[in-house]
Amino acid sequence: MSDPTHAAIERARSLIDAADRIVVLTGAGVSAESGVPTFRGAGGLWKTFRAEELATPGAFARDPRLVWEWYAWRRALVSECEPNAAHFALARLALSREGTTLVTQNVDGLHARAAHEVADEMACPGDATRAMPLELHGDLFATRCNDCGRDAGEVTVDATSITTKSVAELPRCARCGGLLRPGVVWFGESLDPGVLGAATAAAEGADVALVVGTSALVHPAAGLAAHTLARGGALIEVNPDATPLSDRATVALRGTAGAIVPALVD
């Protein structure tokens, strides 16, 4: 069951149709067709660095300017991107099917933007919250203090001028003077327990886990679908490449999110 043949898509569709509760887990691949680079694989490098070398507390302690430069570049890049057909289809699914929970590892905010646009189109703007994802790894545009944890709200860090700044000129906390940092979850840091708890409960209660565009290498996100399988639920994977989850997938659909997800859920 490895080609997105008509039969495989129909099988996945019927699993989704029959499900009372669905958990959707997305990764960087769902935003690739919006122009947001993925972390691993072709195009996954920034300059000569891998994500694992920059998305760590140790990297920030060693060279906060370099890490801020990467995040400022990504903030500017994502600001120019729009949600794609997969984000919109998943927002429609969440708004039209009660019992659907969106969970994302992405920090780009594109699911939330799609939720607002689709809720407006469906003339139920107040319901957009039902299509808001649980953001396991935080928010690219949030900023907090590295020392006292205080939420610093929206802080603009200019991508072009930051290379010329000294560490002393980097943004600082108004309360304690500590360095500010992006409001994301780095390797070795704990996920927000409330967010992870809600995602785990959704996976444990789901009849179907729909996993889209993740290499399934990073934990605990990569382990969520196993909760659904453990209760006898189905796993549907959408990804152009095989992942460590593929062998356990009830249906593995090899293709891009933008092409396959709308065909599955609309």
Q: Contact positions toward Zn ion, by CB under 5 A?
A: 145, 147-148, 150, 173, 175-176, 178
Q: Where in 24-43 is the site for ligand BJW (CB under 6 A)?
A: 27-29, 32-33, 38-41
Please tell me which residue in 6, 111, 116, 137 is annotated as part of the active site: 137
Establish if 47 lies at the interface with ligand BJW (CB under 6 A). Answer: no
Centre a 10 Å sphere on the Cβ of residue 18 and count the other Cβ atoms it contains: 10
Burial string for 56-91 (b: 16+ CB within 10 Å, else e) reads: beebbeeebbbbbbbbbbbbebbeebebbbbbbbbb
Q: What six digits make up the tokens of 176?
A: 């304690």
Establish if 84 lies at the interface with ligand BJW (CB under 6 A). Answer: no
Number of alpha carbons in the 13 Å side-chain half-sphere of residue 162: 18
Centre a 10 Å sphere on the Cβ of residue 227 and count the other Cβ atoms it contains: 19
Whether the CB-CB separation of 117 and 88 falls below 8 Å is answered with yes
Q: Which of helix, strand or coil describes residue 235?
A: strand
Residue 176 contacts which entry, Zn ion, ligand BJW, none (Cβ below 5-8 A, type-dependent): Zn ion
219 carries an active-site annotation: no
Q: Which stretch binds ligand BJW (CB under 6 A): 16-24, 116-124, 143-151, 233-241?
A: 233-241
Residue 97 vs 172, nearer CB to Zn ion: 172
Q: How far is the CB of 53 from ligand BJW (least distance, A)?
A: 11
Establish if 105 lies at the interface with ligand BJW (CB under 6 A). Answer: yes
d(C-alpha 49, C-alpha 59), whole Å: 11
Question: Contact residues for ligand BJW (CB under 6 A)?
Answer: 27-29, 32-33, 38-41, 44, 51, 55, 105, 107, 137, 184-190, 213-215, 217-220, 238-241, 243, 256-257
Active site residues: 137
